[in-house]
Amino acid sequence: MLKRSEVKLEETWDLSHLFETEQAFEEAMKNVLKVSNQIEEEFKGKIDSAKKVTLVLTAYQNLYEKMVPISTYASLSLSEDQTNDEAQMRSAKVGQNYSKVRAQLSFITSELLQLNEDVLMEAKKLAPQFEHYIDDVLRQKPYQLHPEAEKALAAFGSTFDGPYELYNTTKLVDMKFDNFEVNGESYPLSYNSFEGDWELESDTAIRRAAFEAFSTKLRDYQHTTAKTYDNHLKIEKTDADLRGFDSVFDALLFDQKVDRELYNRQIDLITTELAPHMRRYAKLLQKVHGLEKMTFADLKISLDPTYEPKISIEESRQYMLDGLAVMGEDYQNMLNRAFDERWIDFAQNQGKSTGAFCSSPYGYHPYILISWTSRMNEVFVLAHELGHAGHFYLAHGEQNIFNSRPSLYFIEAPSTMNEMLMANHLLANSNDPRFKRWVISTIIARTYYHNFVTHLLEAAYQRKVYEIIDEGGSVNASILNQIKRNVLEDFWGDAVEITEGAELTWMRQPHYYMGLYPYTYSAGLTIATQVSQRILQEGETAVQDWINVLKTGGTKTPVELAKMAGVDITTDQPLKDTIAFIGSLIDQLEQLTNEIVEETKA
């Protein structure tokens, strides 16, 4: 694994678009602290009219826009290499300073909520751009604490972020993997190489040995990681109790603007109704690969690994342009800019964050992190992250900074939509049974397995953990391991052997430090599946509806956004239809596999 200084420059993102020099970054940080002081001096204790409300919100909006590139620069420079001392200190400094700013300006929300609501209604008329922000503030009123309590909690902001930072330090800095051996040959191992390569390896002996070596190293850190997670859970529970929420679930769903019914339905229906389809898929993998038994370590393998082509970064650009062409010219321009202007960090290096993500700072272009292995399935990963980029590229262009970000419940709909559009394009341009099987198996293995199964089982596990916390309990490594194992065994039944080490997969997911995030992947993909089918059937009309949804940003609830796209998520029908669609894809895989076998015999 190369050091960050050794990777090709053209495979890295260009953070100079945020700040050209470290000096410019430092000056921007000083200016934010200065402006924060000015806002406090000018407005604290003086917000007593609709006019003052609009003035303070205008000042706060301008400051917020100045803060975004600073936090983004610090975060991304750390994500590219967690071992970088300078990046660690920069990130810590930003965290401390922003906690100070949040504490200093916490009076804004407190004073707004002390005003008569008539004053706030008048402010909305004076400045309609703040209507959504004021409505969100009013929603908080039943859970708002005394102004001094809010200030104290805000001051602890970076401390409360500590568990997540500890998790990443353990995972990406301290955890070092030894090489593993198979038949006398040594193979290098790292977090990124396991999740990007070895987990997908077609050679069973190598794949299972990699899984065992990876799990062995995770086990060495399980107790520290569990204690870190338990501390995070206690912070969330304490905050929920202090604010008067009935449960930690209600507190975490409050910002998502959905109720427990939508949350529980997503987990319960998929756990029961999708499991039989995925067990069939597991048995198909076992049959095609001639495995004596199907283990947890085998679930990520390709149905036809000899067919999957290797593709270059430049070739991936053409796939994006062709597969997402239906989204229109403006979207195509964004895709070209992403490659030409180095929005994407493709490099593999020591200390780099695992997985893939998209950061979309308001007022700037998005940034995407991915560790490119040249596997064709990463076309879908890249399309996914460009879905996030396209979403905020459009939303930021239409909405102010307070209005651009939608509920977390909806956040994965645009990303998974791009995976579906890519699949639709590939399927429409070939009649070759083997290619069609490869595409459909990739949709199952990448799009649906990752978003509907992996993240859904994380959500089922997470719900059980929060139930313990809600009742005043605590968790440790033994409890977390047992919960995870039970969830996996319930879903896969006797179709898959849950091998030793599978229970440790809870250690691999940073989403647990982001509230009730894992279930939103299946929620977003439910919406995306239905809308992608609309696009296939209706064409341009459905595309324009979808683009309008993306431009709407966070000005509507998830239910309203889905309705704009033609999907009613207040019922279980879209989810049932999506599960049935997954079942039909597996039917096609079984049929295509039989056809290919017969052709081979002939």
Q: How far apart, in whole angstroms, are the C-alpha atoms of residue 187 and residue 185?
A: 7
169/92 same-domain check? no
Q: Do 39 and 56 touch, CB atoms closer than 8 A?
A: yes
Question: What confidence category does residue 177 fall into, taking pLDDT thresholds of 50, 70 and 90?
Answer: very high
231/105 same-domain check? no
Domain boundary among 158, 189, 206: 158
Q: How far apart, in whole angstroms, are the C-alpha atoms of residue 322 and residue 316?
A: 10
| 430 phi/psi in degrees, rounded to 5 | -160, 140
* Segments of 346-428 assigned E as strands: 357-359, 367-369
Q: How many CB atoms lie within 10 A of CB 435?
A: 16
Question: What confidence category does residue 157 fall into, taking pLDDT thresholds of 50, 70 and 90?
Answer: confident
Where residue 429 sits, what CATH number does that domain have?
1.10.1370.20
Question: What confidence category does residue 158 fall into, taking pLDDT thresholds of 50, 70 and 90?
Answer: confident
Provide DSSP, 223-268. HHHHHHHHHHHHHHHHHHHHHT-SSHHHHHHHTTT--HHHHHHHHH
How confident is the model over 18-31, as pLDDT tens digits? Answer: 999 999 999 999 99
124/167 same-domain check? no
Q: Is the pLDDT of residue 602 over 70?
A: no
Residue 36, amino acid: S
112/238 same-domain check? no
Domain boundary among 158, 190, 208: 158
Q: Tokens representing 97?
A: 């300073």
Q: What percent of the chain has pLDDT over 90?
A: 85
Q: What percent of the chain has pLDDT over 70?
A: 100
How confident is the model over 316-329, as pLDDT tens digits? Answer: 999 999 999 999 99
Q: Is the pLDDT of residue 192 over 70?
A: yes
Q: Is the dihedral of CA 548, 554, 556, 557 positive or negative?
A: positive
- Residue of 64, 61, 55, 62 whose CA lies nearest to 123: 55
Residue 588 lies in a domain: yes
Residue 205 lies in a domain: no
Residue 397 lies in a domain: yes
Q: How far apart, in whole angstroms, are the C-alpha atoms of residue 371 and residue 28?
A: 30
Residue carrying structure tokens 């993306």: 550
Provide DSSP, 469-511. HHTT----HHHHHHHHHHHHHHHHGGGSB--TTGGGGGGG-GG
298/445 same-domain check? yes
Q: Is the dihedral of CA 13, 18, 21, 25 positive or negative?
A: negative
How confident is the model over 390-447, as pLDDT tens digits? Answer: 999 999 999 999 999 999 999 999 999 999 999 889 888 888 888 888 889 888 987 8
Q: 83-119 as b/e, with b when 16 or more CB fall inside 10 Å?
A: bbeebbebbeebbebbbbbbbbbbbbbbbbbebeeeb
110/165 same-domain check? no
461/401 same-domain check? yes
394/529 same-domain check? yes
Residue 366 lies in a domain: no
Domain hosting 85: range is: 4-158
How confident is the model over 256-273, as pLDDT tens digits? Answer: 999 999 999 999 999 899
Q: How far apart, in whole angstroms, are the C-alpha atoms of residue 237 and residue 234?
A: 5
Q: What's the rounded mean pLDDT across residues 458-484?
A: 97
Domain boundary among 114, 132, 158: 158
More confident residue, 135 or 451: 135
Residue 323 lies in a domain: yes
Residue 321 lies in a domain: yes
465/556 same-domain check? yes
Mean pLDDT of the chain: 94
Residue carrying structure tokens 């596997």: 375
Where residue 15 sits, what CATH number does that domain have?
1.20.140.70
Q: How far apart, in whole angstroms, are the C-alpha atoms of residue 148 and residue 157?
A: 15
Q: Do 429 and 577 touch, CB atoms closer than 8 A?
A: no
Which phi-psi region, left, alpha or beta, contains residue 367 (left: φ > 0; alpha: ψ -120 to 50)? beta
Q: Bridge partners of 359?
A: 367
Residue 302 lies in a domain: yes
pLDDT of residue 450: 82
> Residues 67, 63, 113, 43: what is their CA dihedral angle, to the nearest 10 degrees?
140
Lowest mean pLDDT among 205-219, 273-287, 423-437: 423-437
Q: Bridge partners of 186?
A: 181
Q: Do 361 and 76 touch, CB atoms closer than 8 A?
A: no
399 HSE (CA, 13 A, CB side): 26
Residue 589 lies in a domain: yes
132/166 same-domain check? no
89/23 same-domain check? yes
Q: How far apart, in whole angstroms, are the C-alpha atoms of residue 101 and residue 110?
A: 15
Return the H-helix or E-strand segment holding 180: strand 180-182
pLDDT of residue 491: 96
Q: Tokens representing 7?
A: 């990777």
165/124 same-domain check? no
Q: Do 366 and 389 touch, CB atoms closer than 8 A?
A: yes
Q: What's the rounded mean pLDDT across residues 322-339?
A: 96
Q: How far apart, in whole angstroms, are the C-alpha atoms of residue 74 and residue 130?
A: 29
pTM above 0.75?
yes
Residue 128, amino acid: P
Q: In sequence order, which ranges of 105-221 are alpha helices (DSSP H)?
A: 107-114, 117-126, 131-140, 147-155, 157-160, 162-169, 191-196, 204-220
Q: Is the dihedral of CA 63, 69, 72, 73 positive or negative?
A: negative
Q: How far apart, in whole angstroms, are the C-alpha atoms of residue 425 and residue 323?
A: 5
Return the H-helix or E-strand segment holding 185: strand 185-187
Number of domains the chain is built from = 2
* Terminal-to-terminal C-alpha distance of the chain: 46
Q: Is the pLDDT of residue 372 over 90?
A: yes
Q: What's the rounded mean pLDDT across residues 204-222?
A: 97
